[in-house]
Amino acid sequence: AQSVTQPDIHITVSEGASLELRCNYSYGATPYLFWYVQSPGQGLQLLLKYFSGDTLVQGIKGFEAEFKRSQSSFNLRKPSVHWSDAAEYFCAVGNYGQNFVFGPGTRLSVLP
Amino acid sequence: NAGVTQTPKFRILKIGQSMTLQCTQDMNHNYMYWYRQDPGMGLKLIYYSVGAGITDKGEVPNGYNVSRSTTEDFPLRLELAAPSQTSVYFCASSYGGVDTNTGELFFGEGSRLTVL
């Protein structure tokens, strides 16, 4: 069965520091991979997505993610975190049957 | 654009009561979804629809019903509320299926439901 794991439940970084959020997936075919962000009290917003081609994808708000097939990973990165990046981040795999499999989420806190 | 609009934002129900969560989208999207979000569990798919008149079960459909009479609207009905249905519910839509490059989900702001 498809699954997505996000090993870090909560991460705290200082403003201006770099960030990497981990995502590992289990999927039998070529995955369609996504990162969504959820600000408090809001719905989820797409940050970036990978379907094929270049394994390093750029998203909104200065985020990027790298697909590594050998490691079944799709980690999210940002070189310099801003206080407004504090939110919850979800990794997801889009599979057939019209369903996303979402990870449990990683909550990011940013220290001033 | 309004995008995806959900009502109500908050609701408290007693066990056994019924209610409908409303969802409307103005993007002419074919696909619509209902998810529930529980702490530490990510999002779980309840029901989805690939077009007007077509609905199908997701991962956790028990205790819920849906209908899709128009492209714009996709209401979710809880028939006999139970404490296990306490959750945050999100409606989402997309132009294409989740396994396509048009499968980006657009979410509403959520409806927080408490069953006591």
- Residues A32-44 pLDDT 10s: 899 999 998 888 9
Give CB contacts under 8 A, 24+ apart, made by B66-70.
B66/B34, B68/B32
| B6 in Cβ contact with B111 (< 8 Å) | yes
Tell me what percent of the residues of chain A surpass a pLDDT of 70. 96
> Looking at chain A from residue 56 to 85, which residues have their Cβ under 8 Å from any Cβ of chain B?
none
User: What does the alpha-carbon distance between residue B16 and residue B73 come to, in Å, rounded to a whole number?
Assistant: 25
pLDDT at B116: 94
Cβ–Cβ contact B58 with A under 8 A? yes
What distance in Å separates residue A81's CA from the closest CA in chain B?
A: 23
Q: Convert the pLDDT of each residue in B77-88 to its tens digit.
A: 998 999 999 999
Q: What is the mean pLDDT of the segment spanning A96-103?
A: 76
Q: Convert the pLDDT of each residue in B23-66 to its tens digit.
A: 999 999 999 999 999 988 889 999 999 999 999 999 899 999 99
Cβ-defined contact of A46 to B56 (cutoff 8 Å)? no
DSSP string, B69-85: SSSSB--EEESS--GGG
**In terms of Cα–Cα distance, which of A106, A111, A112 is closest to A38?**
A106
Nearest CA in chain B to A42: B109
**In terms of Cα–Cα distance, which of A100, A93, A21 is closest to A63?**
A21
Give B1 or A52, the one with higher predicted confidence: A52
**In terms of Cα–Cα distance, which of A1, A48, A52 is closest to A25?**
A1
Residue A29's pLDDT band, with cuts at 50, 70 and 90, is confident
